[in-house]
Structure formats: structure tokens, C-alpha cells
């Protein structure tokens, strides 16, 4: 069985967010998929099941859990499909509970993904452990189906944050009326220079201390900043050590386009 490892949201190797991609004709046993993801020890391993040349199902596994949505592994999967599995330039991913993701590839290799917006709501009642787990002052807290989104005063505060991951991990024990599972934590601030917004992302409860680039959470972060900045088109930067750039366009009240490049790092043969 062939597996690809792709750096997503980057044109350079060793930047962006690495994801593993495995294309299958039929779903593997869930325990096997989880074990493969654990063995890879990447933030996400994607499994893609072909329906036809233009239609695919997709599932994502962190080292510890299957997750409901992953943007960077969707980008990596589309890159692999366009490279080796299809001749069309537009494909559709069929996703449980989230509907259809429409993905296209430009002539220069840029991949554009049409996602549902997953808006975050401003909240004032949030767990004390969230406050205790962060060291910098913040302006507001939002929550969507995936994560707490904490708005910081400055980009420098986002860059300098050194969270207490053990405390943030305790958020995994918290259930809310909005989140379907344990909420992760994103921190964000208005951008400077070439970037409209800057963020970082922490998910220690599912085995990811800091995610390098998180496409899924930008379906909430970008609409938030689009409203604040009164603009439809934004360039977002996720300021992890690897870093990643996401070109984003608000297309309608409920859809967003998130685009980026990808770079193939490795093809491997699995012995299962």
C-alpha cells in the first residue's frame, strides 16, 4: 500500500504542515487506520476513498483520534489526487456531516478549496482553565464547533505565547453546547504587513501540542477578521515554527475559499 507525505500550505519543503495521505478502494478497518496515524505521528493522516475520477470520500486521523475536519490534510490529499489519480482539475470530497468540499487546481499548482464557514460566537463565559493556560492578555474569546478562538492585543503577543499545555489539555474534559467534541485552542490577532491576520493553534488533548498550519480553523478565524476589517479577501499566516500562508476569500454567507500550495516530501510503501 502506497503512502504519501506532503507539506501543505507551502511551496518549500520542511515548511507548512505535513500530512500523510493514503488512497484506498475500500475503507480499512478503523483500528488499522488509527494505528497508521499513530505510527506516522503527524498532526493528521488522511484516508481517501475513490468513488470516481472526480468524487472522493475523505477521513482524517490524528495520532489519537479521528477528527471531523482537517484543512491541511484535505489540501495534501487533493495534491496527491491531482498528481497521480485523476486528470480532471476539479474534484469533490464528500464529507460526513459537512457535505461537499469542491477543490480545484490552478495551472501553477495552487489548490483552491471551497469549505463551509463554521462561524465562531463571542462568549463571555469560558472555563477558568483556558485563562490559566494562556500567559498573554487577550481581548475576547469566541467559540465554534472546533475550538476556542482567543483574540490577542498584538501579533507579538501571539508570537510570544508559551501556553501551559497541561492546562489546555484539561479543556478536553469540557463539553459545550457548540462543540461536538473536546474544544482546541486558537489564538489570533490582526495582522501586520503582508498578512491580514495571524494565528497559532494548540490541540494537546488529541496529541497535537501545536499544529503547524490549521486550514479548518480558518473557516472561523477568517470570517471573524473579514467582519472586523470589512473585507472579503484576506491573507492569513499561521505563525508556528514551520509557518504557513493561507489565501482566503469569503464567497458567500456560508462558504469560504481557502487556497495554498503543497510540496511532496515522500512516497512510501506500507507493510501491513
150-184 per-position pLDDT tens digit: 999 999 999 999 999 999 998 866 555 555 467 99
Indicate the SS3 state at residue 139: strand
State the Cα–Cα distance between residues 95 and 98, nearest whole angstrom.
5
pLDDT digits (tens, 9 = 90+) for 221-249: 999 999 999 999 999 999 999 999 999 99
Average pLDDT over every residue of 187-203: 97
Go through the domains of the chain in sequence order and give each one's CATH number: 2-115+259-269 (3.10.310.10), 121-253 (3.10.310.10)
Average pLDDT over every residue of 51-65: 96
Residue with cell 488522511: 46
- The strand pair at 197-202 and 66-67 is best described as unpaired
Confidence of residue 205 (pLDDT cuts 50, 70, 90): confident
State the Cα–Cα distance between residues 1 and 39, nearest whole angstrom.
15
What amino acid positions are annotated as catalytic residues?
A: 44
Amino acid at each position: 500500500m502506497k503512502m504519501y507525505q506532503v507539506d501543505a500550505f507551502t511551496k518549500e519543503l520542511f515548511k507548512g504542515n505535513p500530512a500523510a495521505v493514503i488512497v484506498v478502494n475500500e475503507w480499512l478497518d478503523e483500528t488499522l487506520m488509527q494505528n497508521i496515524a499513530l505510527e506516522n505521528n503527524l498532526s493528521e493522516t488522511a484516508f481517501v476513498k475513490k468513488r470516481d475520477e472526480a468524487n472522493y470520500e475523505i477521513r482524517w486521523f490524528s495520532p489519537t483520534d479521528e477528527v471531523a475536519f482537517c484543512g491541511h490534510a484535505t489540501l495534501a490529499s487533493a495534491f496527491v489526487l491531482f498528481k497521480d489519480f485523476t486528470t480532471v482539475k476539479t474534484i469533490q470530497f464528500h464529507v460526513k456531516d459537512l457535505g461537499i468540499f469542491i477543490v480545484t487546481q490552478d495551472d501553477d499548482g495552487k489548490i483552491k478549496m471551497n469549505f463551509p464557514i463554521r462561524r465562531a460566537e463571542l462568549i463571555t463565559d469560558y472555563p477558568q482553565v483556558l485563562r490559566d493556560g494562556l500567559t498573554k492578555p487577550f481581548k475576547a474569546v469566541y467559540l465554534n464547533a472546533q475550538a476556542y478562538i482567543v483574540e490577542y492585543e498584538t501579533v507579538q503577543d501571539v508570537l510570544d505565547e508559551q501556553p501551559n499545555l497541561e492546562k489546555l489539555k484539561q479543556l478536553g474534559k469540557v463539553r459545550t453546547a457548540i462543540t461536538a467534541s473536546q474544544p482546541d485552542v486558537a489564538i489570533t490577532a490582526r495582522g501586520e504587513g503582508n498578512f491580514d491576520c495571524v494565528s497559532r493553534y494548540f490541540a494537546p488533548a488529541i496529541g497535537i501540542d501545536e499544529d503547524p498550519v490549521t486550514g479548518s480553523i480558518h473557516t472561523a478565524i477568517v470570517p471573524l477578521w473579514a467582519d472586523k476589517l470589512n473585507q472579503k479577501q484576506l491573507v492569513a499566516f499561521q505563525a508556528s515554527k514551520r509557518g504557513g500562508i493561507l489565501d482566503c476569500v469569503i464567497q458567500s454567507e456560508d462558504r469560504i475559499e481557502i487556497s495554498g500550495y503543497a510540496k511532496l516530501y515522500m512516497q512510501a510503501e506500507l507493510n501491513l
